[in-house]
Amino acid sequence: MPDKDAIQNFIIDAVASGLGEGAKIGPETALLGKGAVLSSLRLVELLLQVEDYCLENDIPFVWTTDAALSEKRSHYRTVESLSGYVYGFLSDGRKDAP
């Protein structure tokens, strides 16, 4: 099973590949809301990649929650919040979103 760093590195690589050469992506990179580096279409494409990664690694992944698209509470806000959300399914044994 991947650890949180492996999940975060996967997400960083996936975001960077969609932005092209020279993109500086890190844990605090905004994915949603003010300062987001992704368009809404690219965010959906990223989530599809994350879903595939989760399936390959036997990690349950739930796209939708009450907070999913909230600019302040969404687990899609940053690379770090998304990787923490995915990792939470492993560490907590969650079957659905928090």
Residue 40, token pair as written in the block: 């809404």
Residue 81, domain extent: 4-16+27-91
Does a structural domain hold residue 98? no
Identify the CA nearest to 83 among candidates 23, 22, 40, 25: 25
Indicate the number of domains in the chain: 1
- The answer to whether residue 65 sits within a structural domain is yes
Residue 74 lies in a domain: yes
User: What pLDDT was estimated at residue 98?
Assistant: 42
Residue 17 has pLDDT above 60, yes or no: yes
Assess if residue 68 is contained within a domain: yes
**Residues 76 and 69 sit within 8 Å (Cβ to Cβ):** yes
Residue with tokens 């492996």: 6
Q: Kindly report the pTM of this predicted structure.
A: 0.85
Judged against a pLDDT cut of 80, whether residue 19 lies above it is answered with yes
For residue 78, list its beta bridge partners: 30
Higher per-residue confidence, 72 vs 77: 77
- What CATH number is associated with residue 46? 1.10.1200
Tell me the pLDDT band of 72, cut-offs 50, 70 and 90: low
